[in-house]
Structure 1
Amino acid sequence: MAGNSDPLTPRAKLAVTAGKAVAAASRAAGRGSGSVIGGRVALKLDPDLLAKLAQNLDVVLVSATNGKTTTTRLIAEALRAAGPVVSNALGANMPAGITSALAGGSDAKFAVIEVDEKYLAGVARDTEPKCIALLNLSRDQLDRAAETRMLAENWREGLAGSKAVIVANCDDPLVVWAASSSPNVIWVAAGQMWKDDAWSCPSCGGVMQRPGDDWFCGECGFRRPAPSWVLHGDHVLDPHGSAWPIHLQLPGRANKANAASSAAVAAVFGVPPQVALERMYSVQAVAGRYDVVQFQGRDLRLLLAKNPAGWLETFSLIDPPPCPVILSVNARGADGTDTSWLWDVDYTRLTGHPIFVLGDRKLDLAVRLEVADQHFQVCDDLDQAVQMCPPGRIEVIANYTAFQDLRRRVGN
């Protein structure tokens, strides 16, 4: 642990050792990274292990429906300017995966941790973070977290009176309502393309008014707070009004928004915007997302989109028609088994693209595309889809487990 002023108890050390052994065995058996099963075993042996591992670290928590993994990676890169960082970079974002990540960071000064939205309050209680970044809340995994306002309420109650500095997106009314219970909030104008989860006021249920980029409730007066950090085109404006250029290798407006929030977090720890943003340039791909891979002699760009908000952002960054697009959708446990969210995605944005459809729920997607009057072909697998694609780089968009399937197939 950093400073080693409060060494782990024998029980905690045993839990860490056992967890690492189980994780190594899981990896050796070809069952993935082992971080989740290792963390579960460690927490069984010492239920307070997460708190003990976090006690000598400056902890940053990152939570959102979209952009958690990428923002966690950007913040981690920025904070490395100030000291060693431990992070759950592969996205295992529930307590077991987080415990496993922290157990591997013995020399770290900072812990930058992605947290699943449902677990944020509990992880914040255990880790006593110095900073929490809240990016957005929208519908996702309808069978598991159907009600976004309930998640916002969970955040609001769990973070009330928190000592942490909250860095929050002032353009998302649900995030603002959740963060407003905290005494120390830094507001970032990061934007919000998807607005369909925030038409009613989270405070009173009234109808939201949305003139331009502003928003307010006409009934109770709940309104958008004034930001101190602002995403403005290709720049982020800091609280002093200075404009810093955002140069990323990651594509799209959403990642510029992630970078703006990350710069605000880095500043909390004394890392200047220029240094933070320069370090973020080194991030080329995040857990396979945005990677361009060679497969069957073709260039495929792998894009993850898990819910309507994510698909909307992804459509905005794909190459223009007639670039071919492969869409893959599953509905396994990690995706959410309810695919009705497909009807909230505006697939008319793909007009002009040759579309190829695969995945466990390819027929659900085919029906949705038919109604959207899109031309598409249903394929058995990625190999067949790639063979049928016309020339040019291929954009491949998939939801969570479909994305993992594709990565395995292309050897990424």
Structure 2
Amino acid sequence: MAGNSDPLTPRAKLAVTAGKAVAAASRAAGRGSGSVIGGRVALKLDPDLLARLAQNLDVILVSATNGKTTTTRLIAEALRAAGPVVSNALGANMPAGITSALSGGSDAKFGVIEVDEKYLAGVARDTDPKCIALLNLSRDQLDRAAETRMLAENWREGLAGSKAVVVANADDPLVVWAASSSPNVVWVAAGQMWKDDAWSCPSCGGVMQRPGDDWYCGECGFRRPTPSWALSGDHVLDPHGSAWPIHLQLPGRANKANAASSAAVAAVFGVPPQVALERMYQVQAVAGRYDVVQFQGRDLRLLLAKNPAGWLETFSLIDPPPTPVILSVNARGADGTDTSWLWDVDYTRLTGHPIFVIGDRKLDLAVRLEVANQSFQVCESLDQAVQQAPPGRIEVIANYTAFQDLRRRVGN
């Protein structure tokens, strides 16, 4: 364990101390958790700090377009059965935030780290992970994220020859293409609801054939690998064919899929599926997502959806009509400023729900809903939307910064 043989040089210790001081000052000034600015300062003082902090940990990296924060939480919970865990649980997933998280875990055995897709190859190089979980790749932040095929290529090159056990979703062709360069892959049938980014073969550009749950390229023979783990209804099937029940407090099929991948990761470290899945039940909400809060005498359930694949999953778990739905979309730096992705979301799934639209880009969303033939009201604020909503619990769906705005307003 890291506490027994201190891997940190005097310079690294200074960097950690300075980073923590800056983070504390940032928190005191009310500017958020301070983890990113603290990590930046620490890395400026010692550019090798992330590698030093990781060297006595069993590091697990988690990357995906959707579900990485939740899956990171589920894996961390499962691995606590085998020893202390340090994790960037609040989702600061670029090198500065990761460095900041690891600098707080001197006695940890495991480092469970969520990594932004664009940084995966670099963070893997620095941290020498024992395991990497790859869940999905889909379009996101169109103004600055690389096209998904390029991201898959970046992963493929960055992970080629990696010693890590790669736990990868066999149902996402882009993930399979990315993981196929690794010598040690555990395939999980976790499903793929959003298929619009994987109609052409990532290997040759040919057209993908998709009979049932299978997929293959008719031109080059690139095909779905045989999974050793699978999500089957409310159970995880392990490599021996045993079915383990999934009991989660988190809603929806996507979270069952996250649990299946997390169980496969836990097994790499000797934690049996039954123990791993029982521990995952502890996770109630992840950074405010799925929380039900009281606001103006009403129950609001807060749901985060940042891109078309995320919105599709979220629509599948909201209560049926006539449950009122509030939609909030911003387009600030952290969201990506291009809102053209709204046209990729199938808003006809909201037919029958009273819809209320708020957020910086409420008019962009209003035009999209108009074309989808939905009836809705545009409101100036959350308060106004809640006042106008008919009785019953309200589902509130927001993208990234809109979600943070909502949490601040409801005091969550």
> Does the TM-score normalized on the shorter chain lie above 0.5?
yes
Quote the Cα distance in structure 2 between the aligned partners of 1:220 and 1:265.
31
Quote the Cα distance in structure 2 between the aligned partners of 1:13 and 1:183.
36
1:162 aligned residue = 162
| Aligned positions, number | 412
Quote the Cα distance in structure 2 between the aligned partners of 1:375 and 1:314.
19
Quote the Cα distance in structure 2 between the aligned partners of 1:148 and 1:397.
24
Give CA deviations for 1:298-323 in whole Å, capped at 9, x if unaligned: 00000000000000000000000000
Quote the Cα distance in structure 1 between the aligned partners of 2:181 and 2:258.
23
Q: 1:109 to 1:145 in 2, by over 3 A?
A: same
Quote the Cα distance in structure 1 between the aligned partners of 2:313 and 2:350.
13
Contact 2:69–2:114 (Cα < 8 Å) also in 1:
yes
Quote the Cα distance in structure 1 between the aligned partners of 2:13 and 2:144.
34
Quote the Cα distance in structure 1 between the aligned partners of 2:333 and 2:317.
28
Aligned to 1:3, the other structure's residue is in SS state: coil
Give CA deviations for 1:216-261 in whole Å, capped at 9, x if unaligned: 0000000000000000000000000000000000000000000000
Give CA deviations for 1:68-111 in whole Å, capped at 9, x if unaligned: 00000000000000000000000000000000000000110000
Contact 2:7–2:53 (Cα < 8 Å) also in 1:
no
Give CA deviations for 1:280-299 in whole Å, capped at 9, x if unaligned: 00000000000000000000
Contact 2:142–2:336 (Cα < 8 Å) also in 1:
yes
Contact 2:7–2:55 (Cα < 8 Å) also in 1:
no
Aligned to 2:33, the other structure's residue is in SS state: coil
1:8-407 equivalences under 5 Å are 8-407=8-407
Give CA deviations for 1:310-366 in whole Å, capped at 9, x if unaligned: 000000000000000000000001000000000000000000000000000000000
- CA drift at 1:145: 1.2
- CA drift at 1:3: 4.5
Give CA deviations for 1:252-287 in whole Å, capped at 9, x if unaligned: 000000000000000000000000000000000000
Compare 142-151 and 47-56 and name the one that shifted more.
142-151
- CA drift at 1:6: 4.2
Contact 2:39–2:99 (Cα < 8 Å) also in 1:
yes
Contact 2:355–2:376 (Cα < 8 Å) also in 1:
yes
Quote the Cα distance in structure 1 between the aligned partners of 2:7 and 2:44.
20
- CA drift at 1:5: 2.3
Aligned to 1:141, the other structure's residue is in SS state: coil
Give CA deviations for 1:130-165 in whole Å, capped at 9, x if unaligned: 000000000000011140000000000000000000
Quote the Cα distance in structure 2 between the aligned partners of 1:5 and 1:334.
39
With normalisation by structure 1, the TM-score equals: 1.00
- CA drift at 1:368: 0.1
Compare 15-24 and 4-13 and name the one that shifted more.
4-13
Quote the Cα distance in structure 2 between the aligned partners of 1:206 and 1:76.
39
Quote the Cα distance in structure 1 between the aligned partners of 2:43 and 2:93.
15
- CA drift at 1:4: 2.9
Quote the Cα distance in structure 2 between the aligned partners of 1:353 and 1:146.
35
Compare 142-151 and 209-218 and name the one that shifted more.
142-151
Quote the Cα distance in structure 1 between the aligned partners of 2:266 and 2:317.
26
Quote the Cα distance in structure 1 between the aligned partners of 2:354 and 2:6.
60
Quote the Cα distance in structure 2 between the aligned partners of 1:179 and 1:7.
31
Aligned to 1:4, the other structure's residue is in SS state: coil
Name structure 1 gaps, 5 residues minimum: none
Compare 162-171 and 139-148 and name the one that shifted more.
139-148
Name structure 2 gaps, 5 residues minimum: none
Which consecutive aligned stretches of 4+ in structure 1 deviate over 3 angstroms post-superposition? none
Quote the Cα distance in structure 2 between the aligned partners of 1:254 and 1:272.
22
Quote the Cα distance in structure 2 between the aligned partners of 1:159 and 1:3.
29
- CA drift at 1:373: 0.3
Quote the Cα distance in structure 2 between the aligned partners of 1:109 and 1:7.
14
With normalisation by structure 2, the TM-score equals: 1.00
Give CA deviations for 1:6-29 in whole Å, capped at 9, x if unaligned: 431000000000000000000000
Root mean square deviation, CA, Å: 0.6
Quote the Cα distance in structure 2 between the aligned partners of 1:17 and 1:127.
20
Give CA deviations for 1:96-130 in whole Å, capped at 9, x if unaligned: 00000000001100000000000000000000000
Quote the Cα distance in structure 1 between the aligned partners of 2:3 and 2:282.
29
- CA drift at 1:31: 0.2
Quote the Cα distance in structure 2 between the aligned partners of 1:228 and 1:146.
31
Aligned to 2:26, the other structure's residue is in SS state: helix
- CA drift at 1:2: 1.9
Compare 138-147 and 116-125 and name the one that shifted more.
138-147
Aligned to 1:14, the other structure's residue is in SS state: helix
Quote the Cα distance in structure 2 between the aligned partners of 1:31 and 1:216.
49
Quote the Cα distance in structure 2 between the aligned partners of 1:2 and 1:295.
44
Contact 2:326–2:396 (Cα < 8 Å) also in 1:
yes
Contact 2:230–2:260 (Cα < 8 Å) also in 1:
yes
Give CA deviations for 1:364-403 in whole Å, capped at 9, x if unaligned: 0000000000000000000000000000000000000000
Quote the Cα distance in structure 2 between the aligned partners of 1:83 and 1:175.
30
Report percent identity of matched pairs: 95
Contact 2:7–2:56 (Cα < 8 Å) also in 1:
no
Quote the Cα distance in structure 2 between the aligned partners of 1:6 and 1:187.
36
